[in-house]
Structure 1
Amino acid sequence: MTTDSSNSAAWQAPEPVGPLNANVPIPGSKSLSNRYLVLAAAGRKSVELRGLLRSRDTELMISALETLGVRITANHSDPTTVRVEAPSDGRYQGNVTIDCGLAGTVMRFVPGLAMSADGPVTFDGDSQAYQRPMAPLLDGLRQLGADIVFHGQQGYLPFTLTPPQHWNSGKISIDASASSQFISGLLLTASTFPHGIILKHTGKRLPSLPHIRMTVDDVKHAGVQIKAHEYQREWLVEPGPVQLPFIVGIEPDLSNAAPFLGAALLAGGSVEVPHWPEHTTQPGGLLPGYLQSLGAKVEMIPDQGQLLCKVTSDGTIHGLGDFDLSAAGEIAPSLAALLVFADAPTRMLGIGHLRGHETNRLAALVEEINRIGGHAEELPEGIAITPVPQESLHPAELRSYADHRMATFAAMLGLRVHGITVDDIGTTSKTLPEFVDMWHSLLDVKN
């Protein structure tokens, strides 16, 4: 049944006027931006971050660090360049409340810094954030000696962390099956703990391992002695100073490139993303290979010491059968939008942890694909998408679920399905505040 738009504020997804021919610069990586903000705040000397993403998630991180007493100053002529100056004595302000919004990196990375506060720190956030699990991270901090008091459901926001009066040994065992951010949140600040940590993951699976490798790489960049024993699911961080170089450049967000590069497969033509790093720890670095598997022509063209990623397509999209996406689950919504129009079914597997993201992304993707007349089913560790004839798909108002990647997923569907609207396109401000303008520019249509 066709679902008509009943929301006057809904955004009308634009349709392509012809094959694409676009060059789309992508702002800085949210994952790297918030990791480097935390590492800069853990140091003792000022750090200048260049290419910082300015979005809701990074603004929440900046506000959280400032609440703890970190001084962060933006360049007047370029707000993507900021100077970070941590308290010189290594003690953060306690008896404060931090607003995490819906940012997993804030709610899971900042508690490690709060272990060095001079009083209790309360963490709160959006009501939808109350559904995002926190227990494994906080259990790890408790094992170190922190006192945690929950003000609602056990294991979730809001909660108050009181720093240890007496630190236990640094041995921690947690089950991080629900999110790699639990491990990253501990690794980022572990060297500031008196004994460092020996961290053991006890779960059967470990999602988003590339994100953990990104964290390890960033921590090493800050001069910390860290060893990763991935086979044993164990990480060792030595106690010691944290200090990033004075100037740190931040790569473009390669996962945010997915809707734009993927648009070439939906509308035909070519899309280029400049400043693609030759080597990266971002899971989004796997995107060009995925698009090639789907049938696109992908070229990595040398461009002033970096690469230009160019994706060209005639609109043909191949199904992938059983496809393990565990290494880059955050790309799943963009790939799902493409697979709706593929020439064969696909089962995206290894992404069960997406149920604990901004929303239950697996359930949301299935709901919205089926809403337009497509066919998708939820699996224990992923989703199955079975393409239907395109003429069977129909207009609908799609929900964003306060999830930026669900909003961009809906915009992608609008490239092939007439009459797609999105109930809250503004949720893209979480990581891509200029998304609407960028999308219209991609399609060469007026706002």
Structure 2
Amino acid sequence: MMQNIILTKDNKQINGTVHLTGSKSECNRALIIEALSNGKVHVENISDAADTVLLAGILRSAVGSGQMAVGVEADSLLTTNNPPLTTVDIGPAGTAMRFLTAYFAIQDNEVTLTGSQRMKERPIGILVDALRELGAHIDYEEKEGFPPIKLKGSFEQQTSKISIKGNISSQYITALLLIAARLPFGLELHIEGELTSRPYVEMTLVMLETANIKHNWHDNVITISNQEFATTSLHIEPDWSAASYWYAIAALADKAELFLTDLTPYSLQGDSVITEIMANFGITSQFKDGGVQLTKEAKPLSRKIFDLKECPDLAQTVIVVCAALDHEATFTGLETLKIKETDRILALQTELAKMGVKLIEKGQVYKLDCSEKFIPEKMFINTYHDHRMAMAFAPLALIVPQLEFENGPVVDKSYPAFWTDLAKQGFNVQEIEA
């Protein structure tokens, strides 16, 4: 039976300390780097997000005998040969699908990559086309342009120069950059048009630089030559995406004093911009004592336009906060939301309508209409198999007397301890069978 979550909060105050899991975005990149480095790179503070655990397990099975097991501590080594992988099911893990497509494209073994039904509806064609142009042998097993795909091994590089559109998922670009140093002729990647989610590409390049993989980025061209990884460790910072939900909770509280451990002001993660965004809602961020202290202060809302192009994973969080506060803001940079775990635009529109709020789409601009907003006594939240739908709407428990979330365990994808952490901070969390 699926488990739903009933969420309530007896008061509108929040005070405490939260320990966040490692960043899924950083960790998934680090695990691919570790696997490509032939044991030279070691990952520390690995995330317990379900997507990361899955990716680590797949890569652990893929590395050869005697190499360091991917995603485990340094004193744990593989001592037996692994049978070659033939089929890899990544479930709903979109990042794993993109990164593993590139990773397996340059391996010798033939592998079929598949996933959940929703994964089979998420496009992969742009990345496959780029890899084919480089020299990979990839076939579609069902629908053209979508998983499942068969990667046939026997990679022979045909060119080092490829072009890819910048306004599609940055994960396609990152997937290519991660394997670039292992390509015999390296990679000269031309980005066409404006680059969406630029901080995620920058994160990738900084992490590669830490492992001694140099790059040159001039105008719209990123170049990485064939080169060796250095022996090093990649330490994973706590997840700023997870932190964003606590910022949202602080924004909707009457009084908030929260300490989030181990976060720094010098993060690689684009979602750390949540500190600037939530300052508009009266949340101050003070970095001290090995973390960040959040404090709620009274402040009139003034900012009307939020450009989320470089931090699309914050979109649901920010939009829900604005709706809760009757802040009829305008949002841009949401182009990639329709091809995520669900169509996040449609999901937001559907769930916000349950409290009378409209998210109106006009081209690439979205505007909140709170003119008919009301506060229901109870509100049922459909999650659409999307972890961020559950976590973005959870702060509404400070506004709505009772929330019920479909499929509570959906949060395991990126923040398995989410409901537990809410309970520790004074929320009433009840699991029920659906």
TM normalised by structure 2 equals 0.91
1:234 aligns with 2:192: no
Q: How far apart in 1 are the matches of 2:26 and 2:359?
A: 33
1:101 aligns with 2:103: no
Residue of structure 1 equivalent to 2:238: 252
Give the CA deviation at 1:393: 4.2
Residue of structure 1 equivalent to 2:49: 55
Q: How far apart in 2 are the matches of 1:347 and 1:84?
A: 50
1:168 to 135, 158, 167: 158
2:267 to 280, 283, 286: 280
Cα distance 1:360–1:317, how it changes in 2: closer, same or farther (>3 A)? farther
DSSP 3-state at the match of 1:14: strand
Q: How far apart in 2 are the matches of 1:441 and 1:180?
A: 35
Moved more, 29-38 or 323-332: 323-332
Cα distance 1:136–1:8, how it changes in 2: closer, same or farther (>3 A)? closer
Residue of structure 1 equivalent to 2:295: 311
What is the letter of the counterpart of residue 72 of structure 1?
A: A
Alignment deviations for residues 45-93 of structure 1 (CA, whole Å, 9 cap, x no partner): 3543221111210111112212323552776xxxxx5668799xxx997
Cα distance 1:51–1:16, how it changes in 2: closer, same or farther (>3 A)? farther
Residue of structure 2 equivalent to 1:373: 356
- Given that residues 69 and 93 in structure 1 are in contact (C-alpha distance below 8 angstroms), is that contact kept between their aligned partners in structure 2? no
Give the CA deviation at 1:445: 4.2
Alignment deviations for residues 113-137 of structure 1 (CA, whole Å, 9 cap, x no partner): 2133222111011111112111111
Q: How far apart in 2 are the matches of 1:264 and 1:180?
A: 30
Q: How far apart in 2 are the matches of 1:85 and 1:278?
A: 35
Q: How far apart in 2 are the matches of 1:290 and 1:319?
A: 12
- Given that residues 376 and 384 in structure 1 are in contact (C-alpha distance below 8 angstroms), is that contact kept between their aligned partners in structure 2? yes
Residue of structure 1 equivalent to 2:170: 180
DSSP 3-state at the match of 1:31: helix
Residue of structure 2 equivalent to 1:209: 198
Residue of structure 2 equivalent to 1:321: 304
Residue of structure 2 equivalent to 1:41: 35
TM normalised by structure 1 equals 0.88
- Given that residues 352 and 381 in structure 1 are in contact (C-alpha distance below 8 angstroms), is that contact kept between their aligned partners in structure 2? yes
Residue of structure 2 equivalent to 1:358: 341
1:340 aligns with 2:323: yes
Residue of structure 2 equivalent to 1:298: 284
- Given that residues 47 and 84 in structure 1 are in contact (C-alpha distance below 8 angstroms), is that contact kept between their aligned partners in structure 2? no
1:123 to 104, 113, 118: 113
Q: How far apart in 2 are the matches of 1:9 and 1:392?
A: 25
Alignment deviations for residues 238-262 of structure 1 (CA, whole Å, 9 cap, x no partner): 10112351x3321000111111121
Q: How far apart in 1 are the matches of 2:348 and 2:276?
A: 23
Residue of structure 2 equivalent to 1:220: 209
Cα distance 1:82–1:334, how it changes in 2: closer, same or farther (>3 A)? farther
Q: How far apart in 2 are the matches of 1:93 and 1:225?
A: 34
Q: How far apart in 2 are the matches of 1:220 and 1:8?
A: 43
What is the letter of the counterpart of residue 275 of structure 2?
A: P
Give the CA deviation at 1:26: 1.1
1:192 to 182, 198, 204: 182
Unaligned stretches of 5+ residues in structure 1: 1-6, 76-80
- Given that residues 350 and 381 in structure 1 are in contact (C-alpha distance below 8 angstroms), is that contact kept between their aligned partners in structure 2? yes
- Given that residues 14 and 440 in structure 1 are in contact (C-alpha distance below 8 angstroms), is that contact kept between their aligned partners in structure 2? no
DSSP 3-state at the match of 1:260: helix
- Given that residues 161 and 187 in structure 2 are in contact (C-alpha distance below 8 angstroms), is that contact kept between their aligned partners in structure 1? yes
Please give the residue correspondences for 1:69-80 in structure 2 after superposition, counting only pairs within 5 Å: 69=63, 71-72=68-69
Q: How far apart in 2 are the matches of 1:115 and 1:92?
A: 19
Unaligned stretches of 5+ residues in structure 2: none
- RMSD of aligned alpha carbons: 2.6
Please give the residue correspondences for 1:256-271 in structure 2 after superposition, counting only pairs within 5 Å: 256-270=242-256, 271=258
Cα distance 1:188–1:142, how it changes in 2: closer, same or farther (>3 A)? same
Residue of structure 2 equivalent to 1:11: 5
Q: How far apart in 2 are the matches of 1:328 and 1:277?
A: 18
What is the letter of the counterpart of residue 113 of structure 2?
A: F
**Identity percentage of aligned residues:** 24
- Given that residues 105 and 155 in structure 2 are in contact (C-alpha distance below 8 angstroms), is that contact kept between their aligned partners in structure 1? no
What is the letter of the counterpart of residue 102 of structure 2?
A: G
Q: How far apart in 2 are the matches of 1:329 and 1:309?
A: 24
- Given that residues 121 and 161 in structure 1 are in contact (C-alpha distance below 8 angstroms), is that contact kept between their aligned partners in structure 2? yes
Cα distance 1:253–1:82, how it changes in 2: closer, same or farther (>3 A)? farther
Give the CA deviation at 1:94: 5.2
Aligned residue pairs, count: 426
Give the CA deviation at 1:403: 0.7
Residue of structure 1 equivalent to 2:407: 424
